[in-house]
């Protein structure tokens, strides 16, 4: 998984409209197709908080595409166009590498796909890479009433208009910022509100394979992330495995939305704990 995180970061910031963004999308599609996994591309337009029309691409890789019983695993693949929480104000409009915030969850899902191409699960698994998650309101902008809706544009689009009409899954697991050194995961508020049974299933699985110290039975704060829209619009009970850090001002990992979110901060141990937990959950279905 670490290798796949590094390969994404090597493209440079995956900012919508950039050459890196385009090249990275091609890289994902080739990756899944080389594993003989069916790929759907969902191109869409969305308006950003600053009035730009953005072209987004959600990428869906379907393992066992004909299976009726399905689960979905997701992460966002774009990286934030602004380091608006960087300690240096000069960097506040500079794009970030998004090694942890973006690439880490995708890297884990790519490794899960690779393993599932070798040992097929009993059920169908849809791996969804959402675009335009991180183009939300700049920190300098006064928070507006609908500020929350400026984030997660790809999942909002997919949740209202999925790649297959009438798409349904038993449950979903979203991965976000899963690669930091010493990352721990608590019960994220919206996850526990919409899908408490899935939280219990995943945390129990983590504990059973020795990751109880990483998946902690504690409050993990509330994060408006892609899973909220999947729950709200697609009605699929979905949880978010997201690194919550009460000790930082942002509540996220130390280098969140800064130029420091680079590959050198990624921990193989964190990726492994999350990947093994999620793949165990999938194989047990």
Residues 164-202 have pLDDT tens digits of: 999 999 999 999 999 999 999 999 999 999 999 999 999
pLDDT band at 143 (very low <50, low <70, confident <90, very high): low
What's the whole-number average pLDDT of the chain? 97
Average pLDDT over residues 153-167: 98
Radius of gyration of the chain (CA): 17
Per-residue pLDDT tens for 64-105? 999 999 999 999 999 999 999 999 999 999 999 999 999 999
pLDDT at 128 over 70: yes
H helix count then E strand count, the chain: 8, 8
Q: What is the 3-state secondary structure (H, E, C) of 62-82?
A: EECCCCCCEEEEEEECCCCCC
What pLDDT sits at residue 163? 98
* Token pair belonging to 207: 């504990």
Average pLDDT over residues 20-31: 99
What pLDDT sits at residue 68? 97
pLDDT band at 21 (very low <50, low <70, confident <90, very high): very high
Parallel, antiparallel, or unpaired: how do β-strands 238-242 and 215-219 relate? Answer: unpaired
Give the count of beta carbons closer than 10 Å to the beta carbon of residue 67: 14
DSSP letters spanning 192-245: HHH-HHHHHHHHHHHHHTT-TTTEEEEE------HHHHIIIII---EEEEEB--
What pLDDT sits at residue 74? 99
What pLDDT sits at residue 249? 86
What pLDDT sits at residue 145? 55
* Token pair belonging to 48: 């950003």
pTM of whole model > 0.95? yes
Q: Would you say how long the chain is, in residues?
A: 285
Looking at domain 2-284, its CATH superfamily turns out to be: Zn peptidases (3.40.630.10)
Please state, in angstroms and as integers, the Cα–Cα distance from residue 279 to each residue in 54, 85, 146, 274, 275, following that order.
Answer: 33, 33, 36, 9, 6
pLDDT band at 144 (very low <50, low <70, confident <90, very high): low
pLDDT at 121 over 60: yes
Average pLDDT over residues 249-265: 95
Domain boundaries, the chain: 2-284
């Amino acid at each position: 998984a670490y290798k796949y995180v590094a390969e994404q970061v090597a493209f440079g910031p995956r900012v919508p409209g950039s050459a890196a963004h385009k090249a990275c999308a091609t890289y994902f599609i080739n990756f899944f197709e080389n594993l003989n996994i069916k790929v759907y591309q969902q191109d869409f337009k969305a308006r950003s908080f600053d009035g730009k029309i953005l072209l987004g691409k959600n990428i869906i890789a379907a393992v066992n595409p004909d299976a009726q019983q399905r689960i979905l695993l997701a992460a966002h693949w774009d990286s934030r166009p602004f380091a608006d929480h960087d300690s240096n104000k000069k960097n506040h409009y500079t794009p970030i590498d998004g090694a942890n915030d973006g690439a880490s969850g995708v890297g884990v899902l790519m490794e899960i796909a690779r393993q599932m191409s070798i040992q097929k699960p009993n059920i169908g698994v849809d791996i969804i890479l959402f675009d335009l998650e991180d183009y939300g309101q700049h920190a300098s902008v006064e928070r507006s009433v609908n500020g929350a809706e400026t984030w997660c544009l790809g999942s909002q689009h997919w949740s209202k208009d999925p790649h297959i009409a009438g798409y349904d899954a038993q449950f979903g697991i979203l991965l976000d910022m899963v690669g930091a050194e010493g990352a721990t995961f608590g019960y994220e508020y919206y996850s526990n509100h919409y899908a408490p049974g899935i939280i219990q299933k995943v945390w129990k699985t983590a504990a059973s394979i020795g990751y109880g110290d990483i998946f902690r039975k504690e409050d993990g704060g509330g994060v408006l992330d892609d899973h909220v829209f999947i729950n709200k619009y697609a009605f699929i009970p979905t949880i978010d495995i997201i690194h919550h850090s009460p000790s930082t001002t942002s509540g996220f990992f130390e280098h969140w939305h800064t130029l420091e979110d680079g590959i050198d901060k990624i921990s193989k141990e964190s990726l492994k704990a999350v990947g093994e937990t999620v793949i165990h959950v999938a194989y047990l279905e």
